[in-house]
Structure 1
Amino acid sequence: MSRPPGGAARTRRTAPLVPLHYLALGGRGPEDVVADPEGRVLTGLEDGRVVRLWHLTDPARARTEVVAETGGRPLGLELLPDGQLLVCDAELGLLRIDPADGVVRVLADLVAGEPLRFCSNAVALPDGSVYFTVSSRRHPLGRWIGDIVEHTGTGRLLRLAPGSDTPEVLLEGLQFANGLVPGADGSFLVVAETGSCRLTRYWLTGPRAGRREPFADLPGMPDNLWRARAAGTARADGPIWVALAGPRVPPLELLHRTPPAVRGAAARAAVHAPFRPTGHAGVLAVDDGGEVVHHLARRRSGFRMVTSVCETGGHLVLGSLWERGVAVCEAPATK
């Protein structure tokens, strides 16, 4: 059952997030994780490598191989039906990688003459259009906490038409635009706004096409979004998985109501202060009406700052901007 636009998502009872094992990757920051049809997982690391993980659900057989090196900082990944890989690189823009030979091609690196920086997450739709987010136009990835504190609202949703190298700006004013997934019927997109602890719906078709509306208010800060695809297609399948990079912070929400000068001063202090994520780890799954169908959490987690989650082989795989590997956890029973 869908809920009226603007209402908070009704959260189901929280279940434990049960860790099974951890796989070190020899590099830091597997920020986004995506599963391919063969059950392998791809992720990008701080040093620019994009790696493929084999047999993650069997620790004795698990192994890692390098697919490509972007020369920048890969964040969000999107697998295409033809096996190609879209990569949002925080330094280089929107890229396309052929995993067969590791060739990296730049699809877009400018927006209205401005360098495309802090590109965060992308999805490709059946018509060949690519939609992607920019988290901040004010703070780079290395100063991401400054944008969360300052609450700049400079995040964007963009579209790259088939055959074009010039992105079109669809939405501005997003609070740290992050994860992105399509609705199951392709009529809308869901965008994570990390800085506002919410998901926003952007309509692609129908009488509300081109408009945004609240989709779900969340108990934490959403980062990357993921949902399964029907085999060999770009059609969405299954619930929308949401990684919660951290819990809500009431003092931060109060700060967001203060004048810009106050928030700016707080942001300048935050980017120079030592950062250590909380021990809270959490993930959600929501349906196409914004209702929570799973909420898994662990209060004293050794795996911190969960920035992505995907499902493969009956397990959940967690990525993190902070950690040096990925965590494999129990998946909830299908509802």
Structure 2
Amino acid sequence: MRPSFASLFFFTCFVCLKVETISYELRADARLKNYHKIELAHGVGPESIDFDCKGEGPYTGISDGRILKWNGPQFGWKEFAIPSHDRNREMCDGTSDKKLEHVCGRPLGIKFNKATCDLYIADAYFGLLKVGPRGGPAQKLATSAGGVPFKLVNGLDIDPATGLVYFTDSSTVYRRWEYVTAVLQGDKTGRLMRYDPRSKKVSVLLKGIAFANGVALSKNKSFILVAETGKARVLRYWLQGTKTRTHEVFAELGTYPDNIKVNQEGEFWVALTTGTEEDTGKKRLAGDTDAGITVDTVAVKLDREGQIMETIDASDSKTLQSVSEVEEHLGNLWIGSVEVPYVGLFKN
């Protein structure tokens, strides 16, 4: 039987997809040869990573509530900030006890406003925080929106031109230690919000999100992405243009997305939850997908239209565990995690 044009087109695209997937895997294998671990002195779980307005760092938040700064191999990690003035150091410093997170704090998303050099922190329990360029105890900016208290503040990004801070509250019902339950129960109370430093007010841009997670502002500021972890996808909320104030599905991933970071080219790195002891639901959602994502894929790079450009795969390596974020800086990839006692680094 003579093949139709449609079947030939499908076969051609399938072959192209497989070739692209192979190239992703080869690139990932090459990266693993240049992978390094920067061990933390105390605590675990460097969830998010950023560099300050001078390019120094990286900085990261860890399990005991503190923000640390990397000062190079000679000086190592030094404390930069704490979530509150009255944090109990004797109880908190160095702890990884999840039962103490509501007392000690648990910073998740962090981001510097490169125009002011202030560091903004999405603390799961303390809310939206800000620290000046010299560090120290954080200033509390917001703990609720629309009269509804935050339960699990998670990801954030900043528009340095306006100072507007975009951030998420994953749920209005569940705390961080209950996040597996939140996803399995199909909780859809997550919110995408915006904090205006001039009015000091928080506005809700989008609600009804199934575990709102990482956020990333597009390079041209026309839209913002938010990871909808509970539905294994990324949403796009339009800030400008004819679609302003509307949203749509940006990428269907078939597995749980975590933090999202934009690089200098305007591409998006999306971390994917991996199979660790506290993996959401104890099992990844989908198996292999047509997009080239497998149960071993720990991160994907998406273009401005949500198409996969590259994947990082950990099928043959134990070095990539519990990946929560990929931050691209000066050609290097810095790897965050909610579980491990080190920051990962793929040197260019």
Give the TM-score category using the shorter length. Answer: 0.7 to 0.9
More displaced stretch, 39-48 vs 241-250:
241-250
Residue in structure 1 matching 2:110, options 64, 74, 77: 77
Cα offset for 1:62? Answer: 6.8
Alpha-carbon shift at residue 115 of structure 1 (Å) = 2.2
Give the conservation status (yes or no) of the 8 Å contact 1:110–1:166: no
Which residue is equivalent to 1:243? 271
Identity %: 30
In structure 2, how many angstroms separate the alpha carbons of the residues matched to 1:48 and 1:171?
A: 28
Looking at structure 1, the residues matched to 182 and 310 of structure 2 have their Cα atoms a distance apart, in angstroms, of 29
Q: Does 1:158 align with 2:182?
A: no
The answer to whether the 8 Å contact 1:245/1:305 transfers is yes
**Which residues of 2 match residues 315-330 of structure 1 at below 5 A?**
315-330=332-347
Higher helix share: 2
2:170 maps to amino acid:
S
Summarize the alignment of residues 307-318 of structure 1 with structure 2, pairs less than 5 Å apart: 307-318=324-335
Q: Does 1:31 align with 2:64?
A: no
Cα distance change of structure 1 residues 97 and 251 upon mapping to structure 2, 3 Å threshold: closer
Give the secondary-structure state (helix, strand or coil) at the position aligned to 1:246.
coil
Alpha-carbon distance in structure 2 between the residues aligned to 1:251 and 1:47: 27
- For structure 2, the residue ranges without an aligned partner over 5 or more in a row are 1-16, 84-103, 287-294
Distance 1:281 1:51 in 2: 28
* Count of equivalent residues: 287
**Would you say the 8 A contact 1:198–1:221 is kept in 2?**
yes
Q: Which has the higher strand share?
A: 1
Aligned pair partner of 2:122 in 88, 109, 128: 88
Q: After TM superposition, what 4+ stretches of structure 1 lie above 3 angstroms from structure 2? A: 247-254
Q: After TM superposition, give the deviation of residue 249 of structure 1 in Å.
A: 8.3
Whether the 8 Å CA contact 2:226–2:235 is kept in 1: the answer is yes
Give the structure-1-normalised TM-score. 0.79
Aligned to 2:178: 143
TM-score, normalised by the number of residues in structure 2: 0.76
CA 287–39 in structure 1, closer or farther in 2 if over 3 Å, else same: farther
What is the CA–CA distance in structure 2 between the aligned matches of 1:39 and 1:315, rounded to whole Å? 14
Q: Look up the SS of the partner of 1:117 in the other structure.
A: coil
Aligned mates of 2:117, 2:318 — CA distance in 1: 34
Which residue does 2:225 correspond to in 1? 190
User: What residue number does 2:90 align with?
Assistant: none
2:247 aligns to what?
212
Contact preservation (8 Å) 1:35, 1:310 = no
How far residue 330 of structure 1 moved from its aligned partner, in angstroms, is 4.5
Gap regions ≥5 residues in structure 1:
1-9, 230-236, 255-278
Name the larger-Rg structure.
2
Quote the Cα distance in structure 1 between the aligned partners of 2:123 and 2:55: 25
Contact 2:154-2:214 within 8 A present in 1 as well: yes
Q: CA deviation at 1:72?
A: 1.5
1:176 to 211, 219, 234: 211
1:270 is matched with: none
Q: Which residues in structure 2 correspond to 1:39-58 (within 5 Å)? A: 39-55=56-72
- 1:63 aligns with one of 73, 76, 87: 76
Name the aligned partner's letter for residue 318 of structure 1: I
